């Protein structure tokens, strides 16, 4: 198909995760969900944990989903997806794409053991984490993906701990495919979803999804903030196959973390009258460690 025909096809096609949902303007998670399911195609089952995505997309009578959708508990989308996959196998049905998906709170905290079990048992499921770095649905509480220094309603003086690195923990389970992505680069994100779904076994994709409400930025900055997260080194973009890093998105011009932090209200108190405090230097050190570790 030529480019023009492809574009027409894309415009005319109905989104599998459709418009009319109740996400905030500029919600990175809504955009990510649309891109993920668009890449996955119709032959897909979505197992979605409690969280913003489920709340803004599923209320009866006007859900946004044009594919089968299962709402799991906050803690168990990976277990539900594992069960769906086992049922398909037992009934000798399929193949079908099964995508377990959840926010960072579900993924990093309460749902973690179910994910680890799903990886370890080897289910043929793609797990997607929409990482907005806090429990947004219930009022911006801290999760273990909240970055160092960020304000949340439960860390009013700034988060004192560092973000848990789940992509590497996932890879250390020996699963065949792990990737990170953001919503500023549609092609990269969708290629990774397609790649993941073409591989048999458990897969993990971790997507950074800015949250204008919780991060304190205006909606039109969502894409810019993703770019800065990458260009500062705070959110490295890579793929890991069978435990080996096989692809890293290099930073062409490295940007100081200040540029990322100062656009977001959650980091406002790290600057005194516009001058960075020593906490900013701690965050720069984290970015530098990522740059070194992943050879960005
Ligand atoms: C066992 C349990 N504890 C707490 C809750 C309340 N709860 C629902 S969603 C949510 C936070 C979701 O955060 P996250 O997974 O990061 O998704 P987000 O809303 O940020 O997209 C919480 C605490 C729940 N539903 N079940
Ligand atoms: Mg969250």
Give how far Cα 139 sits from Cα of 48, 134, 152, 190, Å: 19, 9, 9, 30
Q: Cis bond leading into 251, ω under 30°? A: no
Q: Considering Cα of 181, then 294, then 172, then 284, what sign does the dihedral take?
A: negative
Give the number of the atom of ligand 1 that is nearest the alpha carbon of residue 211: 20
Cα(175)–Cα(167) distance, integer angstroms: 11
Cα(28)–Cα(275) distance, integer angstroms: 29
User: Does the C-beta of 146 come closer than 6 Å to ligand 1?
Assistant: no
Cα(94)–Cα(33) distance, integer angstroms: 23
Confidence of residue 8 (pLDDT cuts 50, 70, 90): low
Confidence of residue 176 (pLDDT cuts 50, 70, 90): very high
Cα(85)–Cα(3) distance, integer angstroms: 36
Q: Is residue 1 predicted with pLDDT exceeding 80?
A: no
Residue 202 near residue 118 (C-beta atoms within 8 A)? yes
User: Does the C-beta of 74 come closer than 6 Å to ligand 1?
Assistant: yes
Give the number of the atom of ligand 1 that is nearest the alpha carbon of residue 29: 21
Q: For 292, phi and psi rounded to 5 degrees?
A: -70, -45
Only one residue has tokens 């960075």, namely 276
User: Does the C-beta of 106 come closer than 6 Å to ligand 1?
Assistant: yes
For residue 27, the ligand closest to its alpha carbon is: 1
User: Does the C-beta of 214 come closer than 6 Å to ligand 1?
Assistant: no
Mean pLDDT, the chain, whole residue set: 95
Give the Å distance between the CA of 214 and the centre of ligand 2.
Answer: 9
pLDDT at 131: 98
CA 275 distance to own-chain centroid? 31
User: Does the C-beta of 50 come closer than 6 Å to ligand 1?
Assistant: yes
Residue 159 near residue 147 (C-beta atoms within 8 A)? yes
Q: Which residues pair with 245 in a beta bridge?
A: 240
* The total number of residues written for the chain in this structure: 296
Give the Å distance between the CA of 73 and the centre of ligand 1.
Answer: 9
Q: Is residue 13 predicted with pLDDT exceeding 70?
A: no
| Helix segments in 142-293, DSSP class H | 166-171, 186-197, 212-215, 222-231, 257-261, 278-293
pLDDT at 3: 73
Predicted TM-score of the model (pTM): 0.96
Give the mean model confidence (pLDDT) for residues 263-267.
98
User: What single DSSP character describes residue 264?
Assistant: -
Give the mean model confidence (pLDDT) for residues 198-208.
98
Atom 11 of ligand 1, nearest CA residue: 135
Neighbours of ion ligand 2 (CB under 5 A): 103-105, 132, 136
pLDDT at 6: 66
Confidence of residue 9 (pLDDT cuts 50, 70, 90): low
User: Does the C-beta of 102 come closer than 6 Å to ligand 1?
Assistant: yes
For 86-105, how does the pLDDT look when each residue is reduced to its tens digit (9 = 90+)? Answer: 999 999 999 999 999 999 99
Give how far Cα 8 sits from Cα of 11, 42, 44, 137, Å: 5, 18, 23, 36
Structure tokens at 231: 């260009």
pLDDT at 60: 86
Q: For 86, phi and psi rounded to 5 degrees?
A: -65, -40
Residue 266 near residue 215 (C-beta atoms within 8 A)? yes
Cα(57)–Cα(17) distance, integer angstroms: 8
The pLDDT > 90 percentage for the chain reads: 92
pLDDT at 133: 98
Give the number of the atom of ligand 1 that is nearest the alpha carbon of residue 102: 15
Q: Which residues pair with 127 in a beta bridge?
A: 100, 204
Structural domains of the chain sorted by starting position, each given as residue range(s) with its CATH number in brackets: 11-293 (3.40.50.970)
pLDDT at 5: 66
For 204-261, how does the pLDDT look when each residue is reduced to its tens digit (9 = 90+)? Answer: 999 999 999 999 999 999 999 999 999 999 999 999 999 999 999 999 999 999 999 9
| Helix segments in 13-100, DSSP class H | 28-40, 52-57, 77-90
For 39-55, how does the pLDDT look when each residue is reduced to its tens digit (9 = 90+)? Answer: 999 999 999 999 999 99
Confidence of residue 275 (pLDDT cuts 50, 70, 90): very high
Q: Answer with the residue of higher pLDDT: 173 or 1.
A: 173
Give the mean model confidence (pLDDT) for residues 132-152.
98
Residue 215 near residue 272 (C-beta atoms within 8 A)? no
């Amino acid at each position: 198909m030529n480019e023009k025909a492809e574009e027409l096809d894309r415009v005319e096609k109905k989104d599998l995760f459709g418009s009319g949902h109740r996400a905030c303007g500029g919600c990175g998670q809504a955009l990510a969900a649309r891109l993920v399911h668009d890449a996955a195609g119709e032959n897909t089952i979505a197992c979605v944990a409690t969280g913003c995505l489920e709340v803004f997309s599923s209320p009866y009578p006007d859900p946004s989903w044009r594919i089968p959708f299962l709402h799991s508990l906050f803690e168990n989308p990976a277990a539900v997806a594992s069960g769906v996959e086992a049922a398909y196998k037992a009934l000798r049905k399929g193949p079908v794409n099964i995508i377990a998906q959840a926010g960072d709170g579900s993924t990093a905290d309460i749902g973690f053991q179910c994910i680890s079990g799903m990886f370890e048992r080897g289910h043929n499921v793609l797990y997607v984490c929409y990482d907005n770095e806090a429990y947004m649905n219930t009022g911006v509480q801290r999760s273990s993906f909240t970055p160092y220094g960020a304000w949340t309603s439960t860390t009013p003086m700034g988060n004192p701990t560092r973000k848990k690195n789940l992509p590497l923990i996932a890879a250390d389970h020996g699963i065949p495919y792990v990737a990170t992505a953001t919503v500023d680069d549609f092609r990269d994100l969708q290629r990774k979803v397609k790649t993941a779904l073409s591989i048999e076994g458990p897969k993990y994709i971790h997507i950074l999804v800015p949250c204008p409400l919780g991060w304190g930025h205006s909606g039109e900055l969502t894409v810019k903030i993703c770019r800065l997260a990458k260009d500062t080194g705070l959110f490295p973009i890579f793929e890991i196959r069978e435990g080996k890093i096989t692809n890293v998105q290099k930073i062409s011009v490295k940007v100081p973390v200040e540029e990322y932090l100062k656009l977001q209200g959650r980091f406002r108190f790290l600057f005194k009258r516009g001058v960075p405090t020593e906490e900013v230097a701690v965050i720069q050190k984290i970015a530098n460690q990522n740059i070194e570790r992943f050879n960005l």
